[in-house]
Amino acid sequence: MTSESIASVRQLHAARPRPVEGRYAHGAAADLHASGSTTLERPVPVRDSWTLRLLNVSVAAIGLVLAAPLMLLIAIAIKLTSPGPVFFTQVRVGIDRRRNKSSPSGYRRTIDYGGRLFKLYKFRTMVPDADRAGAVWASPDDPRVTPIGRILRAYRLDELPQLINVLKGDMNIVGPRPEQPAIFMRLREQIEGYAERQHVLPGITGWAQINQHYDSSIEDVRRKLQYDLEYIRRRSALEDLKIMLRTLPVIAFRLGAW
């Protein structure tokens, strides 16, 4: 993460918009708000937590080995059809391991990004410097997307490099999708309970991803949040395995992608 990236995020944080009028609390988030709880995370026994992480790492390692030839072909295709780098990296918000956010024992941050920042890897699907306009959502007919990029995004093949993020410990295969810091801080102000999704490692796929398409509006985010909070309450190695298996037809039939 470059000093320019950090400076940019801090500027956006300082200038973040005021919360929209009213607060939003639906479903699981409403239960959280009403109960006064600080987290929806269901305590996971240490043994089960290790089992869950081992499953995700094992799948990521096997996936990288099996996908290596395809990833090489994708890299060549990107390089031959579009100027610029093969990979796209972007700072995202990861897990928030703080249990007492007011504690003076080293858990306080100068700027509360909502979680540990990390560098996410993807195959580049857009023209170089596509994010110069700032943090914005992609759209179905986004002119920034390259021809090869449209194919990669349709089958979610651009996400394959994130298997490296899983091995590094930034992500799991399954979990809430990690968001850009500027967008995360904006959504945290607008949607009640949004920050609760950061109590688990973010994922490449998730309960929200197999039930909803890519985000294109605040309403999409609200709907996805309910799926994320539901996943956090019931997460387990078995649940992760089920979601991984249900992700396969989503990819094969290009469901909810653009």
Cβ-based neighbour number of residue 211 at 10 Å: 16
Rounded to a whole number, what is the distance in angstroms from the first to the last CA of the chain? 28
Q: Which residues of the chain have pLDDT under 70?
A: 1-47, 99-109, 132-140, 256-258
Q: What is the pLDDT of residue 7?
A: 43
Question: CA dist 127 to 89, 133, 182, Å?
Answer: 13, 13, 21
For residue 105, the model assigns a pLDDT of 44
**Residue 91 CA: distances (Å) to CA of 65, 81, 157, 180, 240:** 26, 26, 20, 6, 25
Contact 39, 148 (CB under 8 A): no
pLDDT at res. 29: 39
Contacts for 126 with CB less than 8 Å, ≥ 6 apart: 88, 138, 142, 144, 145, 146, 149
Domain boundaries, the chain: 3-10+24-252
pLDDT tens by residue, 55-114:
999 999 999 999 999 999 999 999 999 999 999 999 999 999 886 555 444 445 678 899
How far is Cα 219 from Cα 187, in angstroms, rounded to an integer?
11
31/28 Cα distance (integer angstroms):
5
Has this prediction a pTM greater than 0.85?
no
Which pLDDT value is given to residue 49?
Answer: 82
pLDDT at 253: 83
Q: 162-174: per-residue pLDDT in tens?
A: 999 999 999 999 9
